């Protein structure tokens, strides 16, 4: 039975690698896969999904006013769609997440949506994630470790001095070097950990 899956984690936990492996497995077995990503996330070019270990694929870039349900329905009528994969679902709108649920319920196509659950300020990332938490039937967490060895559940944003940033814009595309995934106690303390501090002290070595 088709389900709406939400696969989430903190930053740098391997979500994109997991998504691209799932895509490969479906294609290898003869599946017709639709892969969407946000137009906002253009770090590797518009419509490009790329993991930190070098795996990549072309995707359909989505604007916030795009109707995913209509697109998938039209493609499904042309050629049966096996699965819909979503990268960076946190950048979608709540309406688009509801469209994903419609795809599952009416077209009977499984949807696997990958994204960040929390933002750097300790709340659900966006209205899209609020909708996803309410509507998804299956949840999978891809785990990451804090610098202390505990499970990282929070994202800490920091400035050039290594101090925690507690206000400002949630989204900063291309600013990965200013975020670190940590456990809740170290998020509360604003402790970015020795590895991140070392990179700040020696920026050339980080390149």
Q: Based on the residue annotation, tell me whether 88 is a catalytic residue of this protein.
A: yes
Pair 129, 163 in one domain: no
Q: Consult the annotation and say whether 11 binds a ligand.
A: yes
Whether the pLDDT of residue 203 is over 50: the answer is: yes
Last residue of a domain, one of 111, 141, 171: 141
Q: Consult the annotation and say whether 68 binds a ligand.
A: no
Cβ-based neighbours of 54, under 8 Å, separated by 6 or more? none
- The domain total for the chain is 2
SS3 label, residue 52: coil
Is residue 195 assigned to a domain? yes
Q: How confident is the model at residue 158 (pLDDT cuts 50, 70, 90)?
A: very high
Whether the pLDDT of residue 169 is over 90: the answer is: no
Last residue of a domain, one of 91, 119, 141: 141
Instruction: Identify the active-site residue in 75, 88, 169, 207.
Output: 88
Q: Which CA distances in Å does 155 have to 20, 91, 117, 124?
A: 23, 16, 10, 11
Is residue 169 assigned to a domain? yes
Is residue 146 assigned to a domain? no
Task: For residues 31-49, give the mean pLDDT.
Answer: 76
Q: How confident is the model at residue 134 (pLDDT cuts 50, 70, 90)?
A: very high
Q: 30: domain CATH number?
A: 3.40.50.300
Q: Consult the annotation and say whether 179 binds a ligand.
A: yes
Q: What angle do CA 18, 23, 25 make, to 5 degrees?
A: 95
Q: Consult the annotation and say whether 22 binds a ligand.
A: no
Pair 77, 126 in one domain: yes
pTM of the model: 0.87
Q: Which domain holds residue 121?
A: 4-141
Is residue 70 assigned to a domain? yes
């Amino acid at each position: 039975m088709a389900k709406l899956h939400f696969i989430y984690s903190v930053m740098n936990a391997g979500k994109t690698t997991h998504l691209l492996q799932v895509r490969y497995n479906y294609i290898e077995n003869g599946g017709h896969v639709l892969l969407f990503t946000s137009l906002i996330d253009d770090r590797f070019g518009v419509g490009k999904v790329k993991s930190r270990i070098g795996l990549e694929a072309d995707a359909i870039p989505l604007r916030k006013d795009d109707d995913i349900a209509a697109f998938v329905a039209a493609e499904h009528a042309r050629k049966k769609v096996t699965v819909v994969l979503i990268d960076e679902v946190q950048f979608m709108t709540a309406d688009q997440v509801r469209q994903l649920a419609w795809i599952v319920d009416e077209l009977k196509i499984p949807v696997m949506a990958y994204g960040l659950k929390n933002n750097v300020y300790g709340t659900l990332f966006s209205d899209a994630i609020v909708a996803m938490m309410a509507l998804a039937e299956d949840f999978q967490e891809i785990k990451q470790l804090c610098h202390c060895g505990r499970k990282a559940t929070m994202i800490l944003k920091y400035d050039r001095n290594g101090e925690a940033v507690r206000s400002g814009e949630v989204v900063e595309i291309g600013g990965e070097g200013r975020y670190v995934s940590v456990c809740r106690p170290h998020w509360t303390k604003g402790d970015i950990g020795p590895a991140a501090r070392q990179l700040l002290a020696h920026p050339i070595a980080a390149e």
